[in-house]
Amino acid sequence: MAVDPYERLAFAIVSNAVKDYRKAATRLKKNHENYKAYLEIQRCEEFFQSEWCDMLCQGKFSGTSILKKLKEEAGDECYYKPKNRVPKQTVKVKKENRTHGRKSRRI
């Protein structure tokens, strides 16, 4: 029996998210200050709780059940939110050649 290529693609997307979650959880266990790993876990959790994940699973299982098992597997120590993270500040770029409300003339 041939497997539908769309089912294979959906399975690959979900399994890749599982791998990403596990990898980020192990990085966060090793270093609790790893902010990138923390953000990756947050991104994966949002995916597993989304309707898109449930659509990809096609009713065979739910994203929330996958997330629950991943959380049990990872344990509590990988849910430590890193401290002292300074948010990136936005830099205002100075616009050059501003016309200050006047229309520029073309010659």
The structure tokens 């898109």 sit at: 52
Cα gap 20→66, rounded to integer Å: 13
Name, in order, each residue with C-beta under 8 angstroms of 18's C-beta and a sequence gap of 6 or more: 66, 70
Question: C-alpha distances in angstroms, 41 versus 27, 66, 100?
Answer: 10, 13, 46
User: In this predicted structure, what is the pLDDT of residue 59?
Assistant: 81
**What residue ranges of the chain have pLDDT lower than 50?**
none
Q: What is the pLDDT of residues 57-79, one digit of tens each?
A: 888 888 999 999 999 988 876 66
Cα gap 67→44, rounded to integer Å: 9
User: In this predicted structure, what is the pLDDT of residue 98?
Assistant: 56
Cα gap 91→95, rounded to integer Å: 12
User: In this predicted structure, what is the pLDDT of residue 25?
Assistant: 93
